[in-house]
Structure 1
């Protein structure tokens, strides 16, 4: 089973919680929106620290490093069986000037042809309800968990 680790960045205002999500790059995802967004995350190598991988992936997909008081969330399992570990972090991040790493994919699938694409093509802050619609359905569980933790602190 594949395992990924990522970071759910959030910021609070008096009336809303906003979540930072990324949109995958490339032709497959170009016209997909609802359910296509994700937390910045990536595959964990065997024996690697989950949190360290999450920080590396955040940097690769945004060009920015993050650190602070990470809140460990319960892992979720996506539809295809990938287990995702995540940490929430309260931090604001300006979305202009972000830059993703470039990856090589086979396109069209099974064609033997390759193309280079940005791993992430868009970054955006969404209020809670919209974030739950935009994010991969399984990953919405991270938002729900975090909001339960936040409401129990109030």
Structure 2
């Protein structure tokens, strides 16, 4: 992921940061299935993540300039999944901010999306220099797969720094009955 962030910084985006900490915002869709709560997660694309464990993520991206975090989450969902996010501002609930191992902070919003389905992920692409320092760039999708999984499955799939968002979601669902 660090490579992607560096490429994005070098291209069109100027991320919002506090004390040089990169801030992202993401959208964690949820629904209730017969097996319990499910969440919609995305597999990070490109050769770095191809065979790594915990290579799944909440669809998210860098907050640009003065952009509101919820607007970022909705925009990034559409860019990474290829369809508009099935939420409005009044549907979304702020689960809070979660720190990843890299130091990046991810603000996570959630919304119920019981009928949301996507047949094919049509992610935007990013350019990566492979191998590093070679001067050779390849385009790779930011996301190469996305699906509904149980919260328990998501615990083993998501990058470790995002697992706390699952706990926040479960707490929220328990409070709302």
Instruction: Tell me, in whole angstroms, the C-alpha distance in 1 between the residues paired with 2:99 and 2:80.
Output: 21
4+ residue stretches of structure 1 with deviation over 4 A?
none
Quick check: 2:42–2:59 contact (8 Å CA) kept in 1? yes
2:32 corresponds to: 12
2:78 corresponds to: 59
Structure 2 matches for 1:73-84, cutoff 5 A?
73-84=95-106
When structure 1 is superposed on structure 2, of 5-14 and 52-61 the one drifting more is 5-14
3-state SS, counterpart of residue 99 of structure 1? coil
Q: How many correspondences in the alignment? A: 153
3-state SS, counterpart of residue 134 of structure 2? coil
Instruction: Tell me, in whole angstroms, the C-alpha distance in 2 between the residues paired with 1:80 and 1:15.
Output: 33
Select which of 131, 135, 146 maps to 1:112. 135
Residue segments in structure 2 that go unaligned for 5+ positions in a row: 1-20
Instruction: Tell me, in whole angstroms, the C-alpha distance in 2 between the residues paired with 1:96 and 1:40.
Output: 16
3-state SS, counterpart of residue 57 of structure 2? coil
Give the structure-1-normalised TM-score.
0.94
* 1:49 correspondence with 2:68: yes
Quick check: 2:25–2:63 contact (8 Å CA) kept in 1? yes
Select which of 150, 163, 166 maps to 1:127. 150
* 1:153 correspondence with 2:176: yes
Displacement after TM superposition at 1:14 (Å): 4.2
Displacement after TM superposition at 1:127 (Å): 0.5
Instruction: Tell me, in whole angstroms, the C-alpha distance in 1 between the residues paired with 2:48 and 2:121.
Output: 22
